[in-house]
Structure formats: structure tokens, C-alpha cells
């Protein structure tokens, strides 16, 4: 990896990189076509705002984000030792997680671990990669080598558009893993993200604390993990609802693994908005005397704002969804609500929930608020907003 191509960065963009921004868009590179001709499949480059080589970046010819910056120093950083150091640093953050009770862990969290464009999760002995750019593909064997020095795994799977495949010999899917001593399954070949939402671990544990004696509606239930925790917290009844039948089947398996697939747990394949519309609203004047059929409604929808131009419509969708849930909750009942839209800030999401409450005459008291777990660190100065927001409110 010697004599890497040099990419000149406009001074204004280079200043942002020095402040921590990890991305350079192709429209900002005057020599984009020249670099693409040298690296048609992507690869490592040196970056500088002058003719002198400087920092290190990964070039992607097929992405709007053309450069993912690893280092902006003036030093000639050797790629392999530098990559080894970054991976080792990422793994050290996760060393505080007790793998005797939790072995579903995010090992590499992209830009926030200073490894832009790369996500790696482990489920017991299965390692799953989800890179955001093609340029990473040729370097995954090296990444696996460095990870294996500190974390053991039996197999590795690649999730990438049109190219998902095994990177090692195959093992049977789904795989079983543990989270806070509870059992779950993950199947990266068919599931969302890498097969499970491990970023919600702490929030599921918190919800367990509020579940005792409650009837709970788990909307967008996916693999039913919130409901498993609720049952562990002595919930009276849980209902899992998701529009995907495959997700409901996974939810059943997770409940069976933990001994909760019984008459206290129900599963429904249906659109969540349609289901909520079928529950009678509680008029504002009766919220102190009437209760909804569920003591807690959980809202964990997919992202409503995948791009910058979808923020306004995404906020409207969050407001509508939370309003529908709140209209079916009386005083003393609970709303657990989440947003995984990175384009929407924590303040914007809270404002949407507040607007929903005001529009239907509810007052909310926040009893819990958090983002993702400790294996999802946030790099300060990167300009990338923490994507996950989760709150539990009591309705008044």
C-alpha cells in the first residue's frame, strides 16, 4: 500500500476534516474522475490541501460520499498498522461488556469508531459486516485478521447490496446468542440491519423495569425483543404487531427460547396504523376516568427520514403516529417511543412527540430517556448526529 494516489482537497473542506468531519462528497473533489480512473474499485488514498501528501482516506467511486477520512494529519501513516490500531481501539471500548451475559455486540460502529463506512456486529460466534461503501470489500480479510487477534468467531457474513455472502465457511442460520442473559436469534441473510437491533439493549432493559402487571402493545415489534423483556419483567400480557410475517415468526422463536410463547403473548400481522385506528380513542375529557386496553404502547418504527429532503415529512409521520398512540392511552398509562432517523435531532423528535400530546390534550412526564448502548459510541466533532432516540413517558 505504498505510493498511494494523492487527492487534493479544497481548503474549506479540508478545514472541516481537521475539525472532525469524516466525509468528502464527490462534488467537492475537482480530480474525482482522475482518481476514479486510477481506482475503479476504490481503495486507499492520501489527502492534502496542497501538493504534499497528508492524511489517509478510503475512496469510493460509486458513492456520493467519495472519501471516508481516517486521518487528516500531515504524517505518512502506514495503512496496515493504522487500521490495526483503529480496530484494536474499537474493540477495547467493548471490553467492559460481560460476554457471559451478553454476546450480541457491535464491535465496529463506523465513523464513530474512526473506521468510516464499516459496521461489524458479533452474535456469539458469528461476525457480520455491513459496509456502507464498495471500497471496504477488498480489505475485509485484513479486518477479520485484526479482529481475530482479540475476539474469537467461527464464521463471517457480508451484508452488501447485491453481494451478500459468506466470507468464511457457512454455518447454520439463524444463530442463537444472549443479551442480558436472555436468548435471541439473529439471521443476517433475511433480517433488518445485521439480523437484530442490538442498539436497543439498554432501552429494553429499562422497559422491563416498567412492565410489571401491564398489558403491553409492541408496535413494529420485529423480532419481539421488547416483549420478551416485558415478559421477563412480569408483564400481564403482550401483543406483538408487525406488517412482516417473517418478523412475527422470528418473534415467536424468541419467545419460545425464553419460555414465554404462551397464552399471555399474542402475535398479529397487520399494518400498525390500521391496527391503532381500530382501537377506540379516549376523549380528552375522559382521560382521567377511562383507560385504554393497553397500559403501555411501544412505538419503534423504521426511519421516517432517510434523506435530508424527507425530514419535514418524517417529523409529520412521527407526530401522527405518536398522536394515534396517545389518543388510546389514559392518565397513568405509558408511551414508549423511539426514532432511529439520524437526520432528525433529539430536539426535533421530542418536539414532534410534544406536538402530538398537545394536539390530543395529553400531558407527558418523561421517566426514561436514552440512545444506543455503550457499544455504539458517538464521535464528538464529526457532525454526525446520534441516530437513536428512545423515551418512556407517563401520560397525565
Tell me, yes or no, whether 283 and 383 share the same domain.
yes
Sequence-ordered list of residues with C-beta below 8 angstroms from that of 377, at least 6 positions apart, any chain: 93, 109, 112, 113
Q: What is the pLDDT of residue 2?
A: 62
The alpha carbons of the chain give a radius of gyration, in whole angstroms, of 23
C-alpha triplet 332, 336, 341: angle, nearest 5°: 150
Q: How far apart are CA 226 and CA 390, in angstroms?
A: 13
Q: What is the pLDDT of residue 53?
A: 63
Q: What is the number of structural domains in the chain?
A: 3
Q: What is the pLDDT of residue 4?
A: 86
User: Quick check: is 348 in a domain?
Assistant: yes
Is the C-alpha dihedral spanning 311, 107, 75, 44 positive or negative? negative
Q: Could you tell me the three cell numbers for 171?
A: 454455518
Tell me, yes or no, whether 165 and 133 share the same domain.
yes
* pLDDT in single tens digits along all 396 residues of the chain: 567 888 988 888 888 888 888 999 999 998 899 999 999 989 999 998 865 666 889 999 988 999 999 888 766 667 899 899 999 999 999 999 999 999 999 999 999 999 999 999 999 999 999 999 888 999 999 999 999 999 999 999 999 988 899 999 999 999 999 999 999 999 999 878 898 999 999 999 999 999 999 999 999 999 999 999 999 999 999 999 999 999 999 999 999 999 998 999 999 999 999 999 999 999 999 999 999 999 999 999 988 877 777 888 999 999 999 999 999 999 999 999 999 988 899 999 999 999 999 999 999 999 999 999 999 999 988 888 889 999 999 999
Tell me, yes or no, whether 57 and 85 share the same domain.
no
Tell me, yes or no, whether 303 and 205 share the same domain.
yes
* N-terminal to C-terminal alpha carbon distance within the chain: 62
Sequence-ordered list of residues with C-beta below 8 angstroms from that of 312, at least 6 positions apart, any chain: none
Phi-psi region of 25 (alpha: psi -120 to 50; beta: other; left: phi over 0): beta
C-alpha triplet 61, 74, 82: angle, nearest 5°: 65
Tell me, yes or no, whether 332 and 361 share the same domain.
yes
* Parent domain of 29: 6-76
Tell me, yes or no, whether 142 and 31 share the same domain.
no
Amino acid at each position: 500500500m505504498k505510493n498511494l494516489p494523492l487527492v487534493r482537497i479544497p481548503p474549506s473542506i479540508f478545514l472541516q476534516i481537521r475539525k472532525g468531519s469524516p466525509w468528502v462528497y464527490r462534488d467537492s473533489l475537482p480530480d474525482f474522475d482522475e482518481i476514479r480512473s486510477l481506482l475503479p474499485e476504490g481503495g486507499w488514498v492520501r489527502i492534502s490541501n496542497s501538493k504534499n501528501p497528508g492524511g489517509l482516506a478510503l475512496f469510493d467511486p460509486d458513492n456520493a460520499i467519495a472519501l471516508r477520512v481516517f486521518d487528516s494529519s500531515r504524517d505518512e501513516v502506514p495503512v496496515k498498522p493504522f487500521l490495526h490500531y483503529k480496530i484494536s481501539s474499537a474493540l477495547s471500548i467493548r471490553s467492559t461488556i460481560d460476554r457471559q451475559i451478553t454476546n450480541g455486540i457491535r464491535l465496529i460502529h463506523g465513523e464513530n469508531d474512526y473506521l468510516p463506512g464499516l459496521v461489524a456486529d458479533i452474535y456469539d460466534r458469528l461476525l457480520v459486516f455491513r459496509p456502507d461503501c464498495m471500497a471496504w470489500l477488498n480489505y475485509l480479510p485484513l479486518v477479520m485478521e485484526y479482529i481475530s487477534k482479540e475476539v474469537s468467531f467461527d464464521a463471517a457474513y457480508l451484508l452488501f447490496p447485491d453481494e451478500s455472502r459468506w466470507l468464511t465457511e457457512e454455518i447454520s442460520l439463524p444463530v442463537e446468542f444472549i443479551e442480558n442473559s436472555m436468548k435471541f436469534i439473529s439471521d443476517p441473510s433475511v433480517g433488518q440491519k445485521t439480523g437484530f437491533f442490538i442498539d436497543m439493549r439498554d432501552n429494553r432493559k429499562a422497559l422491563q423495569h416498567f412492565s410489571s402487571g401491564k398489558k403491553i402493545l409492541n408496535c413494529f415489534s420485529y423480532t419481539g425483543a421488547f416483549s420478551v423483556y416485558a415478559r421477563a419483567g412480569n408483564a400481564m400480557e403482550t401483543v406483538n404487531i408487525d406488517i412482516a410475517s417473517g418478523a412475527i415468526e422470528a418473534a415467536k422463536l424468541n419467545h419460545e427460547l425464553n419460555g414465554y410463547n404462551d397464552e399471555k403473548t399474542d402475535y398479529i400481522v397487520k399494518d400498525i396504523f390500521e391496527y391503532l385506528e381500530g382501537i377506540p380513542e379516549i376523549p380528552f375529557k375522559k382521560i382521567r376516568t377511562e383507560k385504554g386496553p393497553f397500559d403501555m404502547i411501544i412505538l419503534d418504527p423504521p426511519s421516517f427520514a432517510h434523506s435530508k429532503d424527507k425530514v419535514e415529512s418524517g417529523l409529520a409521520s412521527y407526530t401522527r403516529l405518536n398522536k394515534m398512540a396517545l389518543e388510546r392511552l389514559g392518565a397513568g398509562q405509558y408511551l414508549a417511543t423511539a426514532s432511529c432517523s439520524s437526520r432528525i435531532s433529539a430536539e426535533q423528535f421530542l418536539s414532534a412527540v410534544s406536538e402530538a400530546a398537545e394536539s390530543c390534550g395529553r400531558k407527558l412526564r418523561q421517566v426514561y430517556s436514552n440512545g444506543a448502548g455503550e457499544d455504539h459510541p458517538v464521535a464528538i466533532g464529526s457532525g454526525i448526529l446520534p441516530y437513536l432516540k428512545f423515551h418512556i413517558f407517563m401520560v397525565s
